[in-house]
């Protein structure tokens, strides 16, 4: 009887040992799951960072695209402003013009006359260049001498000279003179060529009006027109 009772007690002692082993296995499994969760968290954080970088790149691309659009709009606005300025200056800006004596004409530049029988280059439109003011012109070609932008009020005559390229016969070369912002005189038909020119110096001039026969002191400008359209201009001063 004592032997049997001891055996039962030994069997009872096995149960807590089994439970202890089971608890150790459970702890090991729990540790593995925790490590896995940590790795998953790190991967998720990496993916989030990649997502933020992608968003930043997209925002930078959008900013670059908007900058290109703004640049295009700015260029278009500048072109529109220039066209508007040309239109406004082509209009009569007021003032009472006097009628001074004026003179105009043109002279051939050396080598500008095409050779007989030569085929002229295709027309590409008339261009103005080297516009200037002066106290005189060369008799042989009508180009400027003694260029200046400052004149004395007692000057006898003031010239504006420009170089025209690809000028067609029948084109109307004209000028408008302004004294201190007021239209002083307009010469719509300063010169009308009777032939085509590859290149030529064209000029117009103005003299002081009676009764004082002196130019008004101040800021002057002259606008050069072709067929009524503004192509070039020059500014100058008249002093005592």
The yes-or-no verdict on residue 215 having pLDDT over 90 is yes
- What does the alpha-carbon distance between residue 160 and residue 146 come to, in Å, rounded to a whole number? 12
The model's pTM is: 0.52
Q: Is the dihedral of CA 86, 91, 93, 99 positive or negative?
A: positive
Q: Please state which of the ranges 13-17, 198-202, 214-218, 232-236 shows the lowest mean pLDDT.
A: 13-17
164 - beta bridge partners?
A: 128, 200
119-177: pLDDT as tens digits: 344 444 999 999 999 999 998 999 999 999 999 999 999 999 999 999 999 999 999 99
Q: Given pLDDT bands bounded at 50, 70 and 90, which one contains residue 45?
A: confident
185-194: pLDDT as tens digits: 999 999 999 9
Both tokens of 184, joined, read 């002083």
- What does the alpha-carbon distance between residue 41 and residue 49 come to, in Å, rounded to a whole number? 12
Backbone angles phi, psi at 20, to 5 degrees: -65, -40
Whether residue 174 contacts residue 187, with contact meaning beta carbons closer than 8 Å, is answered with yes
Whether residue 148 contacts residue 133, with contact meaning beta carbons closer than 8 Å, is answered with yes
70-98: pLDDT as tens digits: 666 665 665 555 455 544 444 433 333 33
- What does the alpha-carbon distance between residue 121 and residue 135 come to, in Å, rounded to a whole number? 34
The yes-or-no verdict on residue 35 having pLDDT over 60 is yes
Whether residue 103 contacts residue 205, with contact meaning beta carbons closer than 8 Å, is answered with yes
């Amino acid at each position: 009887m004592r032997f049997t009772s001891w055996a039962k007690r030994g069997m009872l002692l096995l149960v807590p040992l089994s439970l202890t082993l089971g608890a150790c296995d459970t702890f090991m499994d729990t540790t593995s799951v925790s490590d896995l969760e940590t790795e998953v968290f790190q991967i998720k954080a990496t993916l989030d960072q990649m997502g933020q970088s992608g968003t930043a790149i997209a925002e930078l691309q959008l900013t670059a695209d908007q900058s290109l659009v703004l640049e295009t709009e700015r260029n278009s606005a500048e072109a529109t402003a220039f066209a508007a300025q040309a239109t406004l200056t082509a209009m009569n800006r007021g003032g009472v013009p006097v009628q001074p004596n004026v003179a105009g004409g043109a002279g051939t530049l050396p080598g500008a006359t095409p050779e007989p029988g030569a085929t002229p280059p295709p027309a590409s439109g008339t261009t103005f260049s080297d516009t200037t003011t002066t106290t005189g012109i060369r008799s042989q070609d009508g180009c400027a001498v003694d260029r200046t932008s400052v004149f004395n009020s007692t000057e006898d005559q003031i010239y504006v000279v420009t170089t025209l390229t690809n000028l067609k016969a029948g084109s109307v070369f004209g000028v408008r003179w302004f004294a201190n912002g007021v239209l002083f005189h307009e010469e719509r038909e300063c010169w009308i060529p009777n032939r085509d020119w590859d290149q030529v110096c064209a000029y117009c001039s103005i003299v002081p009006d009676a009764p004082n026969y002196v130019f008004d002191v101040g800021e002057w400008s002259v606008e050069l027109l072709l067929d009524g359209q503004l192509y070039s201009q020059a500014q100058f001063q008249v002093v005592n």
